[in-house]
Amino acid sequence: MTPALLLHLSGPQFWGGPQGGTTRASHPHPTRSGITGLLAAAQGRPRGSDLSDLDHLTHTIRIDRPGQRLLDFHTVGGGHPKHHTVPTAEGGHRGNALVFRDWYLHDAAFTIAVTGPAPLIDDLAAALRNPVFPPHLGRRACRPDTPVLITTTKNPDTALEHLPLHRTAPRTGDTVPVTFLSEHPPTPTTPHTHTINDVSRPGRTFTTRRLWETTRHLPTTRCAGLGTAYLNALTAHRTT
């Protein structure tokens, strides 16, 4: 059995990647680089630190609620004389404001198993219980609305099957379809379903990784509702 952290990420989120321009979109789920940054921040590692030990971690994501895309925009360099506006590559100034349009995730929730060597998992769990830098979900403005660390476990796959779902139960049916994203194939011959460019490397560059998307039908009794109802169900689950 491999030790793992069980994390829950709920609230406004922005999981960007290598992208440019004034319109920026979030990935539809937490990225590997984003989770790595969250864990490193909890440990108090400064920007530019060696994070190669976190490459040994493996992520499996359960999508409790996929959420919706929400457009936000902000300006940079407006309302100032030209010499105080945004610099250009040629050494001048734009003279007008830059407008950025960002697509955030709204009302999304994810439960994540992060597996790795036991000493590293223990260190990360301690850091998440008393983080040096407060956790955020992709950007500092995106604060989680539930505690990030649920617990640690030695059976992450079973835990993801049984932890309460942060969603309301459907009106009909005994099961609900739930999407899982894993870095390992469910069988050796299963082809991967996604390739995502979200593995951070020095110099703020990225490399790709493969993901396998599967759907599991979980009992509707796993649906714990939203807000305090979910937190109460999670607390009850921990004590059973």
Q: What is the pLDDT of residues 95-117, one digit of tens each?
A: 777 788 889 999 999 999 999 99
Helix runs in 96-209, H state only: 118-129, 156-162
Q: What predicted TM-score, i.e. pTM, was given to this entire model?
A: 0.90
pLDDT at 178 over 90: yes
Q: What percent of the chain has pLDDT over 70?
A: 95
How confident is the model over 132-159, as a mean pLDDT?
Answer: 95
Q: If pLDDT is split at 50, 70 and 90, which confidence band does 19 have?
A: low
Of 28-32, 37-41, 145-149, 185-189, the one with minimum mean pLDDT is: 185-189
CA distances from 28 to 39, 67, 69, 90, 135 (A): 20, 8, 9, 36, 19
pLDDT higher at 76 or 168 = 168
Residue 198 pLDDT: 87
pLDDT at 5 over 70: yes
Cα–Cα distance for residue pair 31/14, rounded to 1 Å:
10
Q: What is the pLDDT of residues 195-210, one digit of tens each?
A: 998 888 887 788 899 9
Residue 20 pLDDT: 67
